[in-house]
Amino acid sequence: MSGCPAMTFEGLSPARYEALLQTAQAQGLALAGEAGSTKYQGMEFSWRYEAASERLTIQCTDKPFFVPCGLIEERIKAVVG
């Protein structure tokens, strides 16, 4: 298994970040706080949110070889917007 490159999203207000956490939790992702890691459907993710700069960085750090990074990136972009 291997990971994917980190994705960074700029201009994410604290209110938008909180809404994003709620959306992720509703979809079964255990995300809470401004940084951490979680496992979801055989993959591992890490994230860090910087409220002062309104920047979110998300990375799939481990995934099955048959799941392409492009698919993971599309899903993340669809959720983050």
Q: CA-CA distance, 81 to 75, in Å (whole number)? A: 10
Q: CA-CA distance, 53 to 25, in Å (whole number)? A: 24
Average pLDDT over residues 71-76: 94
Top CATH class, 7-80: alpha beta
CA distances from 54 to 14, 17, 23, 71 (A): 7, 9, 18, 25
Q: Where are the domains positioned within the chain? A: 7-80
Predicted pLDDT at 1: 60
Q: CA-CA distance, 38 to 54, in Å (whole number)? A: 21
Mean predicted lDDT score pLDDT of the chain? 92
63, pLDDT greater than 80: yes
Query: Whole-model pTM above 0.85?
Result: yes
The owner of tokens 């591992």 is: 44
